[in-house]
Amino acid sequence: MHRTEDRPVILADPHARAWSPETARLRFREGLAGPTAGVAAGHTQANLIAVPADWAYDMLLFCQRNPKPCPVLDVTDAGSWTTVLADGADLRTDLPRYRVWRDGELVEEPTDVRAYWRDDLVAFLLGCSFTFEWALSTAGVPIRHVEQGRNVPMYVTGRQCRPAGRLRGPMVVSMRPVPPEHLGAAIRESSLLPAVHGGPVHCGDPAALGIEDLGRPDFGEPVAAAPDDIPVFWACGVTPQAAVMASRPPFALTHAPGQMFLTDARDEQYRVAGAG
Amino acid sequence: MHRTEDRPVILADPHARAWSPETARLRFREGLAGPTAGVAAGHTQANLIAVPADWAYDMLLFCQRNPKPCPVLDVTDAGSWTTVLADGADLRTDLPRYRVWRDGELVEEPTDVRAYWRDDLVAFLLGCSFTFEWALSTAGVPIRHVEQGRNVPMYVTGRQCRPAGRLRGPMVVSMRPVPPEHLGAAIRESSLLPAVHGGPVHCGDPAALGIEDLGRPDFGEPVAAAPDDIPVFWACGVTPQAAVMASRPPFALTHAPGQMFLTDARDEQYRVAGAG
């Protein structure tokens, strides 16, 4: 299948940073597609994975057992396409782009999945690292991929997640190059957001995670680093897609990597209260 | 049924504070019973609830939707009485005292549940507020019920949890009287432990939670407060027992309130990293 490459939404419309989440969802419903880093800044973005009800327990347990890559923000009731995280949203239409999976194979990347929806689908919305980019940015940490107008690079690692029932697979990470003088702030600020992956899983040599070439990410786009930058790796919400590939449930719907669901929640509400 | 009142373990054996978790589990396996506040200090204690596999998804979703009262630390595979949180532990024997529930009614409070165990039971271990007592104590906050050698008082509130499938019920809270000058530390330190209930759900007037009389807790024992103390309420891992009473699954096993499972985990590992 041809993989679709969309331009970042922020490049397509510079006003997207100031959109309300509702405006963003409506624009995506109308067909706009692209990576959502920086869109509706300050509002929480979420990964989507929907599986048939008879796989829902395995998926929820997989998330519980792997909370860094899979921090659950909401789970819908079977067949429902609404969520408590966004008033009036339709999970079948309001993401920029989706992926349709059959038996672990990616078969389609549509911008609307109403034709694929099933009455037995349970949708999981998982925290996304775009959320802590707001906190990092506020703390003065440069976000290279946003500066360069690219999707964040993501890599399949050699680390296996803890299996749950029929689900298993490797951990996927996102990578941001961080100048050494900002490393402390990057670790501290993301650690205070445990609901959106929390602190990094690794800093430095990518080989420690089994990543051979930072220039060839498995998802997203490569990002240019300054000479002194240290690569910092955070657990990534694309991990359930790697579990789908490895475990081959008969059917699944997900977001396209980097093209997230915009919730009405504010990033601050996931920050550990009382800290700082 | 006659409710069993055990003495706190710390009163029965003053050395219990310095026990290893393994020693504590062995003593409980031999039949010692009582509230475990302060036992094997610095090690993480956990609430237990085990339900038949066909109720496990509802329970896991209930926990996900109510993370403050029900922070999941581990979920066993059906029928298994072992956990990754404690090497060599047997969940059927190693808690001081259990509760056996049939159709939402408490029918027995044994110190060993091997005779009640079923091949389809899935056990949930949930974070316990005894964990943050260590952090509060280290920060200089007096823990009144420990000073007074009593079980912590717990109350059923008027706040309903978000339902999940067939499970619903009110939130249960534990209460600690805190001197005003220690309130900031109590809130900050517990907030940094989101895996064990996190920050308080309420401070001050108990009527705001629908609690009529602090002197008559629903579980545990009343605690004496100093004149200026402010009652501080944290979400409590007895909440699933209130859900069992309200939702009447055919069978469930739980710990007896205050009589927890001692894990090998250290309290510090649940503290939000990078903070403070």
Round the average pLDDT of chain B to a whole number and report it: 93
**With contacts defined as CB-CB under 8 Å, which chain A residues touch B60?**
57, 60-61, 64
- The answer to whether the B9-130+246-269 and B131-235 domains have the same CATH topology is no
CB B256 within 8 A of CB B220: no
A9-130+244-270 classified as CATH 3.40.1640.10: yes
Among B97, B94, B93, B127, CA closest to B23: B94
Q: Among B57, B61, B191, whose Cβ lies nearest the Cβ of A274?
A: B191
Contact indicator for A113, A98 with CB cutoff of 8 Å: yes
From the candidate CATH numbers 3.10.290.10, 3.30.2040.10, 3.40.190.10, 3.20.20.70, the one assigned to the domain spanning A132-235? 3.30.2040.10
Segment-wise mean pLDDT, segments of 10 residues, chain B, 276 residues: 75 91 97 93 94 97 95 95 97 98 97 97 94 89 92 95 97 96 93 88 96 95 95 96 96 96 91 55
A65 contacts B60? CB cut-off 8 A: no
Determine contact: A203 vs chain B, CB below 8 A.
Answer: no
CA distance A176 to A225: 9
Residue with tokens 């890559």: A69
Distance CA(B215)–CA(A92), nearest Å, equals: 52
Coil, helix or strand for B107? strand
Query: B57 CB near a chain A CB, below 8 Å?
Result: yes
CB contacts of B192 in chain A (<8 Å) are 272, 274-275
Q: What is the ipTM of this complex?
A: 0.81
* CB contact burial B65-88 (16+ within 10 A = b; e otherwise): bbbbbbbbbbbbeeeebebebbee
- As a whole number of angstroms, the distance between CA B188 and CA B49 comes to 29
Q: Euclidean distance between the first and final Cα of chain A, in Å?
A: 47
Within 10 angstroms of residue B218's Cβ, the number of other Cβ atoms is: 16
pLDDT digits (tens, 9 = 90+) for B2-38: 566 788 898 888 899 999 999 999 999 999 999 998 8
CB atoms within 10 A of CB A125: 28
Architecture of the B131-235 domain: 2-Layer Sandwich (3.30)
pLDDT for residue A127 is more than 60: yes
Q: How many CB atoms lie within 10 A of CB A1?
A: 10
Sequence spans of domains, chain B = 9-130+246-269, 131-235
The C-alpha atoms of residue A243 and residue A171 are separated, in whole angstroms, by 9
| Token representation of residue A26 | 């409506």
* CA-to-CA dists, residue A130 to A67, A68, A87, B3, B274, angstroms: 17, 14, 21, 51, 19
Q: Chain B contacts of A190, Cβ < 8 Å?
A: 274
pLDDT digits (tens, 9 = 90+) for B205-226: 999 999 999 999 999 999 999 9
| Fold for the domain defined by B9-130+246-269 | PSTPO5379-like (3.40.1640)
